[in-house]
Structure 1
C-alpha cells in the first residue's frame, strides 16, 4: 500500500472518531425533555426501589417462618399465619399499642392547638415577629438525642428545673415527685417533650396555610362589617383546615413509629408504662430474637398505618375539594 493510501486511511479514522461525539450529541438533542429527565432519574428510582422494596418483601417472607437471627444456620420452617396469630393475641403487644395510641392522640392534640395558635399570632406580623419565629423553631432544629438528654436533666427530681417550676405553681416540694420514674406521670413527660420539640413543625405548616389566604377575602368581610370572630370562624379556620389536617397526618405517622425519644427518656419504663409499639418490636427482634414473629408484627404495623393514612388522605381530599 502506498504512502498516499495510508494517509487516506488515517484521515478516515480520525474523521470517524471525531464524528462519533457529534452523532451522540445530535441524538441527545433529538430527545425530548421528558426523555432526558427519565434518563437521569431512572437510576435513582431503581436504587430507592431496591432499598425499600427488597427489605419489605424479605420481612413478609420471614413473617411466615420461624427464622431466628441469632441462629442463622438453623433449619427454617414455614409456620403459615401462626406468627400473625400470636402477635394479635399477645396481651403485651396490645398494651404497647394502647400506650402508642395514648401518646399519638395527646401529642397531636397539643401540637395542633399550640401550633395553630402560634401560627395565628405570628401571622399578625407584629413587631419582632421574625425574631420570635426563629426562636420558636429552635427545638425542631435539635436532634432527638440532644433533646432527650436535655429533658432528662430538666426532669431530675433534685436539680431539675422542671420540678421547681411545677413546685412554684402548685406548692408541691420538687423532690416529692419524679416525672420519669412515676407510673402516672412518665407518659405525660414524654408527651411534653415531643410537644415542645415538634410544635414548631406544626406551626410552620399552619402558617403556610394562613399566608395562603388572599387578603381580598378579609377586605370583603370588613366591608360587610363582619366581626373578628366571624372572620376567624368563616374564613380563617375553613381555609386553613387542609393545612392543619396535613400537619396532623405527618405528625401522626411520625409519632406512631416514635422510638428514640422514648428510649432515651424512659427506656419503656417504669415497668412497661411507656413501652410503645416500636420498643416492643425492638425487644422481640433483637432481645428475644423472635425474628419471624417480629417481622409479622412489623407488617401488621405497616398495614395499620398505611390503611389509616389512606383513609385520612381521602378525607383530606374531600376537605380540599370543598
Structure 2
C-alpha cells in the first residue's frame, strides 16, 4: 500500500509533539494557524491607528523629534473644523467623488449591458475595454497630460472639432473651471471597466428562466429591464459604488500626475492637503487629527452604506 504524505508527516512527527497535538481541540488548532495573521494585522493596522489618535492630541512635529511634545487636547480638531481652506478641499473632493461615481456607474452599466448581449467579437471588445484598468496611475497621468497639452494634445483638437474653440488656446489642465473635469474624465476612463466587470457579473448571475417567465406573461423588454434587470443588478452596482467611493476619497497619485495639486488649487483634494500638512509643513499632530477626521468620515459613511446594501440584498 502506498504511503500518503499525511502518513509520512505523522511518522516524522516526534512522539512528544504528537501527544500535545492530540490533546488540543479543533478550536485551539484553528487559533494556532490564525494567530500569526491576527498579530500581523494588529501590528500593521491597529497600532498605527492608536498611535495616530494619540499624536492628534499633541503638537508633535516629525522633523523635530527632540522637541518637547505638548498636549493640546482638541485644539487640532477645532482648527481643522473651523478652517475654510479645509472645507474647500472637502468640496473639491465631494465634486470629484460624485461625478466620477455617477459617470462610471452610468457608462459601466451601459457597457456591461451591451457586452452581456452575445455577439461576434464579444471577448475581444471586453479585453480592449478592460485595458485602461491594467495601467498604473503614473502611466495614465503622463499619457493624459500629453493629451491635454494646448499645442499638441489630441484631446484639445477633439474639443475644437465639436465646440469650435481653437485647440491652441484651450488649456484644460490650467483652466480653473475645467481642471477638475480633466481629472474626472481621466479617472472615469481608467476605472469604468472595473464597474463594468462588476455589473457584468451581476447581469450574468440572473437566471434565464426569469426572463422566459416574463415573456410568457407578455412583459415588454422595457418592463423586464426595470422589474428584473435593474433590481437584481442593484446590489452589484451598490458594491461597485462602495469600492470606487472609498478609492476616490483617497485619490492622490493621479491628481498629482495631472495637475500637481498645488496649494489653493481647485484640484487640491483632501489626500493632497493631508500630505502637505504631514510631509511639507511637518505639522504631524495636526495632520494626525486631520487623518482621524477623514477616517471617521469614510468609516461612518461606509457603515451606513453597507447597512443599506444589506437591506437591498435581503429583498
Q: Give TM-score, length-normalised by structure 2.
A: 0.93
Paired with 1:213 and 1:26, the residues of 2 have a C-alpha distance of 52
Tell me whether 1:186 sits opposite 2:179 in the alignment.
Answer: yes
Tell me whether 1:204 sits opposite 2:197 in the alignment.
Answer: yes
Paired with 2:101 and 2:163, the residues of 1 have a C-alpha distance of 26
- For these two proteins, the number of residue pairs brought into alignment is 305
CA deviation profile, 1:105-150 (whole Å, cap 9, x unmatched): 0000000000000111111121111111111111111111111111
From 57, 69, 76, the equivalent of 2:69 is 76
Segments of structure 1 that go 5 or more residues without pairing to the other structure are 1-17
From 126, 134, 140, the equivalent of 2:119 is 126
Q: State the SS of the aligned residue for 2:57.
A: coil
From 207, 230, 233, the equivalent of 2:223 is 230
Moved over 6 A (4+): none
From 130, 133, 156, the equivalent of 1:140 is 133
Kept in 2, the 8 Å contact 1:253–1:305? The answer is: yes
Q: State the SS of the aligned residue for 1:193.
A: helix
Query: Residues 75, 158 of structure 1: CA spacing in aligned structure 2 closer, same or farther, 3 A cutoff?
Result: same
Kept in 2, the 8 Å contact 1:181–1:270? The answer is: no
Paired with 1:20 and 1:134, the residues of 2 have a C-alpha distance of 50
Query: Residues 33, 143 of structure 1: CA spacing in aligned structure 2 closer, same or farther, 3 A cutoff?
Result: farther
From 65, 79, 87, the equivalent of 1:94 is 87
Tell me whether 1:51 sits opposite 2:44 in the alignment.
Answer: yes
CA deviation profile, 1:149-183 (whole Å, cap 9, x unmatched): 11101111111111111111222211111011000
Paired with 2:188 and 2:204, the residues of 1 have a C-alpha distance of 23
Tell me whether 1:175 sits opposite 2:180 in the alignment.
Answer: no
Tell me whether 1:294 sits opposite 2:287 in the alignment.
Answer: yes
How far is 1:38 from its partner?
A: 3.2
How far is 1:224 from its partner?
A: 1.0
How far is 1:32 from its partner?
A: 6.2
Residue in structure 2 matched with residue 64 of structure 1 by the alignment:
57
How far is 1:49 from its partner?
A: 1.4
Residue in structure 1 matched with residue 272 of structure 2 by the alignment:
279
Residue in structure 1 matched with residue 3 of structure 2 by the alignment:
none
Kept in 2, the 8 Å contact 1:182–1:270? The answer is: no
Segments of structure 2 that go 5 or more residues without pairing to the other structure are 1-10
Larger Rg: 1
How far is 1:22 from its partner?
A: 3.9
Kept in 2, the 8 Å contact 1:180–1:189? The answer is: yes
Tell me whether 1:151 sits opposite 2:144 in the alignment.
Answer: yes
